[in-house]
Chains A and B, each alone.
Chain A
Amino acid sequence: SQQGEEDPQALSIQEGENATMNCSYKTSINNLQWYRQNSGRGLVHLILIRSNEREKHSGRLRVTLDTSKKSSSLLITASRAADTASYFCATDNFGNEKLTFGTGTRLTIIP
């Protein structure tokens, strides 16, 4: 079963605006990761945040993690048309050799 649940399921914004996606999970984690998937392609790793971290930045990406609420958010600033894709969170649970992926947020950037 999918542990991560992204919210919203779909998001459309104007180019240049900021996009925020949220992820909730159910069990304790070692780390949480965000991936991007362009239509019909494989997933690409964006950023990893460990359970003892609260915020992380990478370029136009900002990820926050609140382990008390079991939630994470991904912020994409100054969005571009090329950011149009599906975004997935994935959790690494202690003791497992696998990730559990969420259901994804479909982001559309309107030029």
Chain B
Amino acid sequence: SQTIHQWPATLVQPVGSPLSLECTVEGTSNPNLYWYRQAAGRGLQLLFYSVGIGQISSEVPQNLSASRPQDRQFILSSKKLLLSDSGFYLCALAVSSGRLGEQFFGPGTRLTVL
């Protein structure tokens, strides 16, 4: 079965500092990978998704970027964090087999920008 690892679990960063959140998956090959952000008490906002190595689709223009250097690795980055970047960041995968099914979520990273 699929397993998703995210680290760190929590992170406190000053405004203007860089960010790198990593997501790695096990138990599947060539998955679709997703980065979501969730503000406190709110729904999920899709930030980026990837259907393969080096393929990134951006959903919301902002100061974040994503990369997929390996099939099972998805990285979310920022050069300079803003206060509004605070939130709960979730990585998810979907098994790509021609029809979209359920998504499996990692444990999340709680980011606080001060």
CB-based contact B34/A101 at 8 Å: no
CB-based contact A41/B34 at 8 Å: no
For the complex, give the distance between the alpha carbons of A2 and B4 in Å.
Answer: 25
Chain B residues positioned under 8 Å from A81 (CB to CB):
none
B103 contacts partner chain A, Cβ-Cβ < 8 Å: yes
Chain B residues positioned under 8 Å from A104 (CB to CB):
42-43
For the complex, give the distance between the alpha carbons of A98 and B104 in Å.
Answer: 13
B72 contacts partner chain A, Cβ-Cβ < 8 Å: no
Measured CB to CB, the nearest residue on chain B to A46 is B102
**Could you say which of B44, B92, B100, B108 contacts A88, with CB atoms under 8 Å apart?**
B44
Task: Say whether, besides A42-B106, A45-B102, A101 and B44 are in contact (CB < 8 Å).
Answer: yes
**Could you say which of B36, B43, B102 contacts A48, with CB atoms under 8 Å apart?**
B102
**Could you say which of B51, B57, B59, B105 contacts A42, with CB atoms under 8 Å apart?**
B105
Task: Say whether, besides A42-B108, A48-B102, A99-B100, A2 and B43 are in contact (CB < 8 Å).
Answer: yes
Measured CB to CB, the nearest residue on chain B to A104 is B43
Main secondary structure of the interface of B (DSSP, over half): strand
Chain A residues positioned under 8 Å from B46 (CB to CB):
98-101
Interface size class of A (residues with CB under 8 A): 20 to 34
Q: What per-residue 1/0 map shows which CB atoms of A53-83 lie under 8 Å from chain B?
A: 0000000000000000000000000000000
Measured CB to CB, the nearest residue on chain B to A2 is B43
For the complex, give the distance between the alpha carbons of A101 and B43 in Å.
Answer: 7
For the complex, give the distance between the alpha carbons of A64 and B66 in Å.
Answer: 36
Measured CB to CB, the nearest residue on chain B to A99 is B103
Chain B residues positioned under 8 Å from A31 (CB to CB):
100-101
Q: What are 19 A-B pairs at a CB distance below 8 A?
A: A30-B100, A33-B102, A33-B103, A40-B88, A41-B108, A42-B90, A43-B105, A44-B105, A48-B101, A88-B44, A97-B49, A97-B51, A99-B46, A99-B100, A99-B103, A101-B43, A101-B44, A103-B43, A104-B42
Could you list which residues of chain A lie within 8 angstroms of chain B, going by C-beta atoms?
2, 30-31, 33, 40-45, 48, 88, 90, 92, 96-104, 106
